[in-house]
């Protein structure tokens, strides 16, 4: 099973040294979103926008996920 790493290079840099074994890149994307939720809840990221990189065992960046705060209300 491949190992994926979730790095946050923006704001307060967080480098994943352990990684997570997951069956596919699609599952790694889902895990990245769950991890991003934890980071947001903890208030660990500084700034209005930040990026999470999904990286493989050879340090290849497979996906970049971008997150940003919006200060305008959501219309319904």
Domain chopping of the chain, boundaries: 3-68
pTM as predicted: 0.82
DSSP state of 73: P
Q: What are 7-63's pLDDT values in tens digits?
A: 998 766 688 999 999 999 999 999 999 988 888 888 877 778 889 999 999 999 999
Q: Quick check: 4 and 54 in contact, CB under 8 A?
A: yes
**Rounded to whole angstroms, how far apart are CA atoms 31 and 3?**
12
């Amino acid at each position: 099973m491949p190992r994926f790493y979730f790095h946050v290079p923006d704001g307060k840099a967080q480098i994943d040294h352990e990684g997570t074994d997951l069956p596919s890149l699609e599952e790694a994307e889902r895990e990245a979103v769950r991890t991003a939720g934890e980071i947001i809840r903890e208030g660990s990221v500084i700034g209005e926008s930040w990026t999470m990189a999904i990286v493989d065992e050879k340090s290849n960046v497979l996906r970049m996920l971008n997150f940003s705060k919006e200060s305008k209300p959501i219309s319904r």
